[in-house]
Chains A and B, each alone.
Chain A
Amino acid sequence: MKWEVVIGLEVHVQLNTVSKIFSGASTAFGAEPNTQASLVELALPGVLPVLNKAVVEKAIRLGLALDATINQKNVFARKNYFYPDLPKGYQISQMELPIVEHGKLNILVGDEEKSIRVTRAHMEEDAGKSLHEDFHGMTGIDLNRAGTPLLEVVSEPDMRSAEEAVAYAKALHTLVTWLGICDGNMQEGSFRVDANVSVRPFGQAEFGTRREVKNLNSFRFLEQAIKYETQWQIETIEDGGKVQQATVLFDPDSGETRMMRSKEDAHDYRYFPDPDLLPVRISNEQIARVRSEMPELPAQMKARFVDAFGVTPYDAAVLTGSRALATYFESVATASGQGKLAANWLGGDVAARLNREGKDIAELPINAERLSGLLVRIADGTLSNKLAKQVFDAMWDSELSADVIIERDGLKQVSDVGAIEKMVEEVLAANPKAVEEFRAGKEKALNALAGQVMKASKGKANPAQVQEILKQKLA
Chain B
Amino acid sequence: MSLSHQDVARIARLSRIAVTDAEIDAVSRQLNGILGLIEQMQAVDTDGIEPMAHPQDVSLRLREDVVTEPSRREACQAVAPQVENGLFLVPKVIE
Which one of A73, A261, A273 lies within 8 Å of B95 (CB-CB)?
A261
A89 to B85, alpha carbons, bound, how many Å? 24
B43 is an interface residue with CB less than 8 A from chain A: no
Q: Which of A64-81 contact B (CB under 8 A)?
A: 73, 75, 80
Which one of B59, B61, B76, B82 lies within 8 Å of A34 (CB-CB)?
B76
A354 is an interface residue with CB less than 8 A from chain B: no
Q: Is the CB of B94 within 8 A of A132?
A: yes
A24 to B66, alpha carbons, bound, how many Å? 6
Distance from B34 Cβ to chain A, minimum over Cβ atoms (Å): 14
Contacts of B63 in A (CB 8 A): 24, 50-53
- The digit string for A28-40, where 1 denotes a CB below 8 A from any CB of B, is 0000111111110
Task: Select from chain B the residue with minimum beta-carbon distance to A247.
Answer: B95
By size class, the interface of chain B is 35 or more
Q: Is the CB of A83 within 8 A of B93?
A: yes
When A132-B92, A140-B88, A142-B87 are in contact, do A279 and B54 touch as well, CB less than 8 Å?
yes
Contacts of A143 in B (CB 8 A): 88
Contacts of B59 in A (CB 8 A): 73, 278-281
A467 to B52, alpha carbons, bound, how many Å? 82
Task: Select from chain A the residue with minimum beta-carbon distance to B75.
Answer: A39
Distance from B74 Cβ to chain A, minimum over Cβ atoms (Å): 10
Q: Is the CB of A281 within 8 A of B60?
A: yes
Contacts of B95 in A (CB 8 A): 260-261
| Interface pick from A15-23, A192-200, A203-211, A305-313 | A15-23
In the complex, besides A36-B69, A84-B90, A139-B94, 7 extra interface pairs with C-beta distance below 8 angstroms are A18-B66, A56-B62, A132-B94, A135-B87, A140-B88, A279-B59, A279-B60
Chain A residues proximal to chain B, CB less than 8 Å: 17-19, 23-26, 32-39, 42, 50-56, 73, 75, 80, 82-84, 89, 97, 130-132, 135, 137-143, 260-261, 268, 270, 273, 275, 277-281
Enumerate 20 A-B pairs (CB-CB under 8 Å) in ascending A order.
Answer: A25-B67, A25-B69, A32-B86, A33-B85, A35-B86, A39-B76, A50-B61, A54-B65, A56-B62, A73-B59, A83-B93, A132-B92, A138-B89, A138-B90, A138-B91, A139-B89, A139-B94, A278-B58, A279-B54, A280-B59
